[in-house]
Amino acid sequence: KIDGNFIKNLVENPVDVVMVEAITKIGHVMGIKTIAEYVESETVMEKLRELGVDCAQGYYLGKPQPFNLPSACVVEEFALNSLEFETKLAS
């Protein structure tokens, strides 16, 4: 999991770009999928895709959900957000 401190200024900060790229490459060499926290814009999402990050989480993809939601709601929300995420990564 790539800490949000490297993600939130990813587009403006070249050091963050290099860090995310390095973490992603190391993870892939080790056979580990990478996930970026704090994805809050399409611009950041596109940059993560360029850098090869596997997964993302953050308000751009959906807001956090409380534990007391009925499980069907959580599953439906997860499925919708996952499909949207996969579509965004594929484009």
Domain ranges of the chain: 4-90
| Average pLDDT for 41-50 | 95
| Burial tier of 29 (Cβ tally within 10 Å: 0-12, 13-18, 19+) | exposed
Give pLDDT, residue 40.
95
Residue 90 pLDDT exceeds 60: no
| Average pLDDT for 30-51 | 95
Band (63; pLDDT cuts 50, 70, 90): confident
Residues 27, 39 contacting (CB under 8 angstroms) = no
Band (61; pLDDT cuts 50, 70, 90): confident
Question: pTM to 2 decimals?
Answer: 0.72
| Average pLDDT for 31-60 | 95
